[in-house]
């Protein structure tokens, strides 16, 4: 009778001990330094970063108002000057030669 009870107590104690150790190990693995998520994030960042082979865009300055704008958006006249818009190109071109007239 007593021997059987002692065996059950030992089995229960071993089960409790193993369960406690398993919980501690699980907590440590969860709170400890995780390597898998870090690797996944670094891979995602490498994929998200765009390739740096695009050449730097040339910036031009409007002769009329002094505004800087990309070369592809600039307007140039026959003499090669750069402007931010056709209106400023017309103004700069007309103001130098034509006399201002009222109207």
Q: Which residues of 70-95 are buried (b: 16+ CB within 10 A; e: fewer)?
A: eeeebbeeeeebbbbbeebbeebbee
Bridge partners (DSSP) listed for residue 70:
59
60 or 84: CB nearest Zn ion: 84
Distance CA 84, CA 65 (A): 8
Q: Is 61 in the site for Zn ion (CB under 5 A)?
A: no
Q: Is 87 in the site for Zn ion (CB under 5 A)?
A: no
Q: Is 81 in the site for Zn ion (CB under 5 A)?
A: no
Q: Is 84 in the site for Zn ion (CB under 5 A)?
A: yes
# chain residues binding Zn ion, by CB under 5 A: 6
H or E stretch at 9:
helix 2-31
21 or 65: CB nearest Zn ion: 65
Q: How far is the CB of 64 from Zn ion (least distance, A)?
A: 4
Bridge partners (DSSP) listed for residue 59:
70
38 or 73: CB nearest Zn ion: 73
Binding residues for Zn ion (CB under 5 A): 62, 64-65, 67, 84, 88
């Amino acid at each position: 009778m007593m021997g059987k009870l002692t065996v059950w107590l030992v089995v229960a104690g071993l089960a409790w001990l193993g369960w406690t150790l398993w919980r501690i190990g699980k907590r440590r693995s969860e709170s400890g330094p995780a390597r898998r998520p870090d690797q996944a994030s670094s891979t995602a960042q490498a994929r998200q970063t765009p390739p740096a082979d695009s050449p730097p865009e040339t910036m031009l300055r409007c002769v009329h108002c002094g505004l800087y704008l990309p070369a592809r958006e600039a307007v140039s006249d026959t003499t090669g000057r750069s402007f931010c818009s056709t209106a400023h190109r017309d103004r700069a071109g007309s103001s130098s030669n034509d006399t201002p007239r009222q109207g």
